[in-house]
A and B are shown apart, each in its own frame.
Chain A
Amino acid sequence: MTQSATPHTGHDLRAEGLSLGYDQTAIIDDLDLNVVPGALTVIVGANASGKSTLLKGLARLLKPTAGQVTLGGRNIAALPGKKVATVVGLLPQQPIAPDGITVADLVGRGRYPHQGWFRQWSSTDDGIVAGAMAATNTAELATRRLEDLSGGQRQRVWIAMVLAQNPEILLLDEPTTFLDVTHQIEVLDLLLERNRERGTTVVMVLHDLNLAARYADHLVVMRSGRIVANGTPAETLTAEIVRYAFDLEARIVPDPVCGAPMVVPIGRFHGRATDTEGSSDSAVAPATAPHGAAPTGR
């Protein structure tokens, strides 16, 4: 299953000629991107390649210095903020929570865009909060305080909060960065489930190339503020592109679990043609290399 089964009739999010920057420095220059509706897109790139900046631009958090971001054909900056917030939700890196807040309270804050002077808290809101917590398996944590939870639990609660916004397009900035691998898989499975079951468009920035390749329908590879590749993981994760975008030598092999492309990095000690120990045992070799044998080629 590589694409969402539900035919998607949602809103298109696009960047057209987008330039973004802070103060005087331009981080992104003249970038075009069509976010595929109903798909799970992952943005990858080296540090400082502009991934987070692009995400913030798409989420209407940064004002473009040139170009525009459009939602459903209309310039996102011209639309009322609350309306946009009912369609697009963003989970930033390292969000802040006030001391002592409970899980249920925090998730409930995600309902803000749907409430107003004439539409205060209703049972629908409670229902959606419950749904968000069910989707993230945080229902039993409802009365606990956020600061007492583990990292994985906390991240799920934050995702529940963004889900409570009930957006059609979900943007996440490095949602797995401080989690151990179990919880990384947990969070990504959760997001994939949203995408497959509800057709929610998901765009996220990830550091781990292999997880990105496994979960993404579309991969956007960035370098220095520009998109260098945009397509399915199979199309975009090639040795040449990895070399260009990450300055990394790698071999691309099929993932034995799901068949997606898997990036196997070649560093100084492993996988080099000159390594006489043999590439299959390179995991063990370095324990002996620096202690006796003269380093090769030095």
Chain B
Amino acid sequence: MTRIRSGAAVLERGVPGASPARMRPRRVVIGFAIALVLLALSIIASILVGTREIAPGTALAALLSPDRALTDHAVILDLRVPRTVVGLLAGLALGLAGALMQGVTRNPLADPGLLGVNAGASLFVVAGVAWFGVTSSLGYVWFAFVGAAVAATIVYLIGSLGREGATPVKLALAGTALTAAFTSLITIVLLADTQAFDRYRFWAAGSLVARGLDAALPLAPFILVGAVLAIVAARMLNAIALGDDLARGLGQNLVIARIVCAVAIVLLCGSATAMAGPIVFVGLAVPHIARWITGPDYRLIIAFSALFGPTLLVAADVLGRLIAQPGEIEAGLVVAFLGAPVLIILVRRVKLAGL
């Protein structure tokens, strides 16, 4: 059965069987399953692993029928569960933010660190601690929020000026310049205030334990909103990936798309940095790993980033507990060390688009 619309460029055909767009490649399905399994495994590991040996049965009891008098239960509830939750939330936020950044800037290098957002959050946190005497966890996070927003706005405004608008190179340049500027300012504050430096250097290492659940839970709604926006933005990103002209031709309103992404990025990055300090690489690596499995469809990339981000951060935290006993290495540091080789392998093996 063929229908011909006069003038329309293409014939519609009733086609028996599935069209290619509806068929999910096996790779994606298998990848999804594996991602879920890995996430579950890392959560379980995060609950069970630590300097104090706790049997799985005890852990289960702690979660289902907690008795705070027992030390084991207390450890599970007050240490392991919070850090797992922080890791999950921050990892989710960073993974999504990275995917959004790479999509909206068409830059495979985009990462909250590279585009200055981390530095903005850090600067405002440091300023808050040193000048406004902020000590409460909640106070921390609001400062980080504002700082991330300010940095993202500046970088985007400056990167968009000029004839071509926000090209990948200009955005990355603006972000790098802003990061360096803010880092200088941070150092000024830290040199002047020893106490602030002392607090900052632990926070800057990217620990999931430093701020605790009181800081994390109030931010969960923001991360949720950011995640929803990310899902909404996914389709827009597919259009943006084709280039501005083609995207407009396909009916995508670029201004709206950029605003949605920017708001989502600020919410996600600000929350993650406030919770866990400036963590690098998750935003950079997770979308690439996702893309390797799913291909260039941003709806899938966003979905996978939402799974891989938490897995990566929680696993890094577990690793940090394992390799430095009886002490531990902060998750942020572990990610930095692991992320670099991953990036290098990526760069060597794959012909990265746009480079």
Contact = CB atoms under 8 A, between A and B. Distances in A.
Interface of A: 290-291
Contacts of A291: 4, 6
Interface string B1-36: 000101000000000000000000000000000000
3 contacts: A290-B4, A291-B4, A291-B6
Contacts, number: 3
Nearest to B6: A291
B355 to A, nearest CB: 15
Interface of B: 4, 6
Question: Main SS of chain B's interface residues?
Answer: loop
A182 B280 CA distance: 53
A33 B315 CA distance: 60
A291 B4 CA distance: 8
A291 B11 CA distance: 11
A291 B6 CA distance: 6
Contacts of B6: 291
Query: What are the nearest 3 A-B pairs in CB distance?
Result: A291-B6, A290-B4, A291-B4
B203 to A, nearest CB: 42
A290 B7 CA distance: 9
A290 B8 CA distance: 11
B9 to A, nearest CB: 10
A50 to B, nearest CB: 20
B314 to A, nearest CB: 38
Nearest to A298: B2
Contacts of A290: 4
A125 to B, nearest CB: 35
Contacts of B4: 290-291
A290 B6 CA distance: 8
A99 to B, nearest CB: 13
A202 to B, nearest CB: 33
A100 to B, nearest CB: 15
B97 to A, nearest CB: 33
A291 B9 CA distance: 11
A174 B4 CA distance: 41
Nearest to A291: B6
B349 to A, nearest CB: 12
B1 to A, nearest CB: 14
Nearest to B9: A290
Nearest to B7: A291
A290 B4 CA distance: 9
